[in-house]
Structure 1
Amino acid sequence: MKQKNNGTWVSWNENLKYNYLTKYDITSEEELQKVVANNEKIRFFGSKQSSADIAAGTDVLIDMTSYNKIVSYDYNAKTITVQSGLILSELLEAVESVGWCIPCLPDINTITIGGALATGTHGTSGKLLCEYMTECNLVLADGSVKTITENDDLIDAVRVSLGMLGVMSTVTFKCEPAYTLHIKEGPEKDSEWLPKIKSRLKKHDFLRILWLPHTDTGYVITGDKIDKNQEVIENTGPKYLKHRRTVSKILYKYSHKFPWITSIANKIIAKAFFNSKKEHKGTLYQATVTKSRGSTLELAEWTVSLDKFPEVFKELKTVINQWNNKSFIHIPMDVRFVYQDKSWLSYAYGHDTVTMGCVSRNAATADTYEAFKTIENIFLKYGGRPHWGKRFAAKDAELSQIYPKWKAFKEVRQELDPTNKFLNPYLTKLVGAKKLVNEIA
């Protein structure tokens, strides 16, 4: 175990910075137990890619990224057990190497397993990644280890918990046989793709829509399972498509000063980079995961029930197209679909869900990006829920109204962590926790 004193923790896009007194790099469960047991206040982190302020802000930190081994495979049960600091890409490559897959994958693969689970990371046309977790070891506030299986009532609280119940140690995932997708992509007018969502979810194995604000257009991506040997005439589009991020960065450079520039930039980007049809095939991982993300981004994402999405979309589109406000939104807004589950703090608890991402290409000026406020206000109005790892302002009062199990979760949190060891200032406000005497002192 390595120890570093008096340093600065910096998030991936440099929007969050905290000084710390001690940082531990752990490589075993025993080291993790020892550090947790011997410190009164502690947070832990992986690849630092959360836009929410959940990973640091305490004097003592644990760096989980060296706790990154594949522990075992169970070939009969099709399960894999890994340490929680493992990067998602390494898990997925290990799973693919034995002919398996995890059926619903997020857009990026550079986050740690623990971070992905804690924040409810998801893909599209399936369930949250955490729903494929069948067992985990959780290091509790006293340093003891609690093994939680899919048969335990507590697993519905643990699957998405922002690291407030304990520190994920080892995690077991249930996998399925790998399959090949035939992917088709192309632009469609909003009037065309919006009414087709439900029928497409029934027809296709994969559906994702990149909405292009201020253009009346979406870029629709569908995927259908095919035999891996089936031939597909591949069309990856013009070679210049790879320069979209660079062009976007240039066009949006001054949009924080002159928000209306965004509308013009979006039309240019849509015409140049989202106007061609594409077609290819690959495994779910090969065909649908971006595998990278620029550190100049700041992100928000909100979810709402599938039935309410058309009404939310109509209001959002109306508001952002009014030139008397500053809520111009950078391309694209990522529209994905998650099927209902029973995890207490899941976005899809109790209903099928549509998720809608909101991106600012200028991370440094995100505080003045009015779109984040606008999308939050509209989604909250319809009972929408925020992505835990991304940017939002809602706290305990609002969250108690949109998560039916919010109170139950807080009670479990208080039971497992009575001294608030795993709460930083942000999380303290998030759950409305009362400061203890030793915290005030």
Structure 2
Amino acid sequence: MKQEKSGVWQSWNENISYKYKSLYKITSEDELQQIIKKSEKIRFFGTKQSSADIASGTETLVDITTYNKILSYNDSERTITVQSGLILGDLLEAIEAKGWCIPCLPDINTITIGGALATGTHGTSGKLLCEYMTECSLVLADGTVKKINEEDELTDAVRVSLGVLGVMSEITFKCESLYTLHIKEGPEDDSEWLPKIKERLKQHDFLRILWLPHTDKGYVITGDKIDSNTEIIEDLGPKYLKHRRKASKILYKYTHIFPWITAIANKLLYRGFFSATKEHKGSLYQATVTKSRGSTLELAEWTIGLDTFPKVFEELKTEINKWSNKSFIHIPMDIRFVYKDKSWLSYAYGKDTVTMGCVSRNAATADTYEAFKSIENIFLKYGGKPHWGKRFVAKDAELSKIYYKWQDFKLLRKKLDPTNKFLNPYLTKLFNEKTNN
């Protein structure tokens, strides 16, 4: 165990920073227990890629990325057990080498397993990543370890917990057999892709739509399971497509000063980078997961019931196309689909859900990005839920109306952490707790 004294913690996009008194790098569950037991206030961080202020802000911090081993495989059960600081990409490469997969992956592979679970990370056309967790060890506020399996009454509360019930140490995932997807991509008018969502969810194994605000277009990505030996004529589009991020950075450079430039930039980006069709094949991980961010961003994401989404989409589109406001949105808004589950703080608790991401390419000026406010206001109006790891303003009063198990979760949190050891200033406000505890 290594300890650093006094320093400044900073998020990956440099938008959040805090001073700390002690920072520990751990390699074992015993070390994790010791630090938690002796600390009055403590938080944990991985690759610092959350846009929500949940990872630091306490005098004691633990860097979980050094707690990153693959502990065991069970071939007959097709499970893998890992330490919570393991990077998602390392987990996915390990299980692919075994001929396995987890059939629901997020857009990025550089986050830690523990952070991904705590914030409800999800893929598309499947469930949250946490739904594939079958067992975990949870280090509680008093430093003891509680083993939790699928039959445990706490499982549905622990799967998505923001790290306030305890700290996951060892985690077991149930995997499935590796499969190959035939991916097709291409642009469609909003009037074409929007009415086809339910039909396509039944027809395809994978569906994702990159909506292009201010263009009346969406970029539709479908995936169908095929035999791995099936030949596909691969078409990855023009070589210049790899420069989309660079072009976006240039075109959006002054949009925080002149928001209306966004509408023009989006039309240019559509013509240059989203007007071609593409076709390829690969595993879910190979074919759909981004292997690097490329640049710092600021992100928000909201979810809404599948049946309600068309109405919310039309209202959002109308709102952001009004030149009387400044809610011009950078390309793309990522639309994905999550099937219902039973996890208390899941976005998909009890209903099939659509998620809609909102990105600011200028992370440093995200506080003036009006789109974040507009999307939050509209989604909250219809009972939408925010992504726990991304930017939002809603607190206890709003969250208690949209999460059916919110009060139950708060009572459990208080029972497991009576001194609020795992709360930082942001989480204290989120749960409407007293600051003097």
Q: TM-score, normalised by structure 1?
A: 0.99
Percent of residue pairs identical: 77
Q: Distance in 2 between matches of 1:267 and 1:285?
A: 30
Amino acid at match of 1:71: L
Instruction: Kindly provide the CA deviation profile for residues 64-109 of structure 1, in whole angstroms up to 9, marking residues without a partner as x.
Output: 0000000000000000000000000000000100000001000000
Amino acid at match of 1:416: L
Cα deviation, residue 293, structure 1: 1.1
Q: Distance in 2 between matches of 1:44 and 1:182?
A: 39
Tell me, which stretches of 5 or more residues in structure 2 are unaligned? Answer: none
Match of 1:298 in 2: 298
Match of 2:146 in 1: 146
Q: Judge conservation of contact 1:25–1:66 (CA < 8 Å) in 2.
A: yes
Q: Distance in 2 between matches of 1:295 and 1:392?
A: 21
Instruction: Kindly provide the CA deviation profile for residues 318-375 of structure 1, in whole angstroms up to 9, marking residues without a partner as x.
Output: 0000000000000000000000000000000010000000000000000000000000
Q: Distance in 1 between matches of 2:102 and 2:289?
A: 12
Amino acid at match of 1:308: T
Match of 1:77 in 2: 77
Q: 3-state SS of the aligned residue for 1:85?
A: coil
Instruction: Kindly provide the CA deviation profile for residues 263-316 of structure 1, in whole angstroms up to 9, marking residues without a partner as x.
Output: 000000001000000000000100010111134210000000000000000000
Q: 3-state SS of the aligned residue for 1:299?
A: strand
Cα deviation, residue 57, structure 1: 0.2
Match of 1:19 in 2: 19
Count of residue correspondences = 437
Q: Judge conservation of contact 1:259–1:326 (CA < 8 Å) in 2.
A: yes
Q: Distance in 2 between matches of 1:429 and 1:81?
A: 34
Cα deviation, residue 433, structure 1: 1.2
Q: Structure 1 stretches (4+) deviating beyond 6 angstroms? A: none
Q: Distance in 1 between matches of 2:426 and 2:163?
A: 13
Q: 3-state SS of the aligned residue for 1:202?
A: helix
Match of 1:329 in 2: 329
Instruction: Kindly provide the CA deviation profile for residues 225-255 of structure 1, in whole angstroms up to 9, marking residues without a partner as x.
Output: 0000000000000000000000000000000
Q: Distance in 2 between matches of 1:151 and 1:49?
A: 32
Match of 1:185 in 2: 185
Match of 1:106 in 2: 106
Q: 3-state SS of the aligned residue for 2:65?
A: coil
Q: Judge conservation of contact 1:12–1:295 (CA < 8 Å) in 2.
A: no
Cα deviation, residue 153, structure 1: 1.2
Match of 2:159 in 1: 159
Match of 2:406 in 1: 406
Q: Judge conservation of contact 1:304–1:385 (CA < 8 Å) in 2.
A: yes
Q: Distance in 2 between matches of 1:41 and 1:187?
A: 49
Q: 3-state SS of the aligned residue for 2:211?
A: strand
State the Cα RMSD in Å.
0.5
1:387 matched to 2:393? The reply is no
Q: Distance in 2 between matches of 1:12 and 1:291?
A: 16
Q: Distance in 2 between matches of 1:435 and 1:364?
A: 29
Match of 2:93 in 1: 93
Q: Distance in 2 between matches of 1:81 and 1:260?
A: 50
Match of 1:252 in 2: 252
Match of 2:268 in 1: 268
Match of 1:338 in 2: 338
Match of 1:435 in 2: 435
Q: Distance in 1 between matches of 2:293 and 2:299?
A: 11
Amino acid at match of 2:83: Q
Matches within 5 A, 1:100-249: 100-249=100-249
Q: 3-state SS of the aligned residue for 1:300?
A: strand
Q: Distance in 1 between matches of 2:226 and 2:239?
A: 27
Q: 3-state SS of the aligned residue for 1:76?
A: coil
Q: 3-state SS of the aligned residue for 1:65?
A: helix
